[in-house]
Structure 1
Amino acid sequence: MGQNLADELSSITIATDEAQKLLQTSQDRELTYHRLLGPLVNQQYDNLDDVFVITAQISELNLIYLMLSQGEKVKQKAKPKPQPKPEPKPKAKKSSPSKQEKTKEETRKSDNKSGIKNALKRAEQDMERHNLSQAIVELREILKQDPNNGKCHGLLGLAYLKQEQLTMAKIHINKARKVSPQDPIVIKAKLALDKVLPESGQSKSSDKPQGRGFFCLFGRKK
């Protein structure tokens, strides 16, 4: 209701001087209101002929005071409360790995290298005993841990050559040459591949060797 009264201030006609003065007051409105109201109340019943006139003046003064008071309250409610500034969050410090964690990681890498080295040795022994299937399984497991192990690719290429799987042999020997071109096993594998698949004269898509040069290099299967 107070807000509606405040909205109607601009649309009503103010007839009395007291109400006009109150409306024009910007400071100490309550004090001005009581100062204007006092004389009217004192004179209200002095003369019966003026009772209705003075009562109307008091009513208009009260109305303007009520409108102004309610309008001020609405303005105060409408003012947004200042929001407190959020405190900056402390930056999280990057935790550096402890010496114990570093030691564990170094130990794990060392164990992994040692395990790969032993697995390569077992695969070579399997190939010497012509246990090619077991050697291939061992070598493929090594590549899961170390995909860029040139020696492993070279041995796997040699194993596939012995099984006459020339396409697979070529894939692994070429990979071995990319990562470890100076490794003795890789050089040996490349020479063996060139004897079976020379760059000129034989189709590269053939999966069967021609002639006996390959078996002369590795020896006959027993």
Structure 2
Amino acid sequence: MKPDQGLFQSDFDDHHAVLGVPISADAKVVRKRYLTIARKLHPDSLSGASAAEAQQASEVLSKLVNPAYEALSQEKSSTEHGLILKLKGQTLRRTGTAPAVTSTAAQDLLKAPHIDAAYRQAVNGLAAQQFDQLEAISEVIGSLSELNLVYLYRSTASDRTSASSATASTRTAATRSQSASANSAAPPSPRQNQAAILDSYVNRAQEYELNKDYSRAILELREAIKTYPNDGTCHSYLSTLYLKAGQGTMARIHAKRALEINPNDERAKAVQARVDKSSGAASSGAQSANAKASNLKSAAKGSPDKGGGFFGLFGGKKK
């Protein structure tokens, strides 16, 4: 790959893909990632590279990475880029068709159950080796850009909080057109408020799960269930977290509750099956151990006249 031959077009206008950060990354995350890349491409880190490879790394940094960082680190350009992404997501939804993607990561993301956690995990996975091989940078950035495309498409469709806000805004505009008061907008409905609150709990839990901090992820969902005890999705998700944390009994309890609310919950069914299988194996092992113990006990009670019991181990009945 030669950086000056088509590298800085199409996907490379996707600044998040170039830097290997999620679309939601804040300025602190962007800066940390930029410094990591800059160190990796610095001549001191390429001591074993050829002159051509060092020159290529320098061009990638100056012509590709630096412009992306400048665009995302400056408030004005970052805001403009965010609006462009938002409009792109809305355009994707209006087409009514999922974006055509070729990378395996993007195709998996199209059908992933937890879009936010799956998206961040996929981006982090690609970013970890994004600049390991300079000749593969174009391919990796292209895959990251496809992930961003799928995320925009799916998050625009499933973001219940945004939908609630949009509904509230529509109602506000309609009310203002009919009333002289600017404060007469109808408040969000209880259902919309519940969706927004649950989304916040689930999103935080997904972040903790991504970092394998299952205890804190579990706490988030337990708080959600305190407020909304009949939300099957939370019970189902909580059962998977308990399973990952090695707490089979709690996983079974919440999987059962999720299936009571929604008998077709596939995630809860899967958790229940795994817990039942694990319990069956443990029960079988316990029975086998009990049988062995019983056999040993019977042997220990053997007849002394026939050299049995402990005396029998030493050559017969004690005189």
Give the alignment's TM-score, normalised by structure 1.
0.32
Question: Whose Rg is larger?
Answer: 1
Instruction: Kindly indicate which of the two structures has a greater share of residues assigned to helix.
Output: 2
Give the alignment's TM-score, normalised by structure 2.
0.23
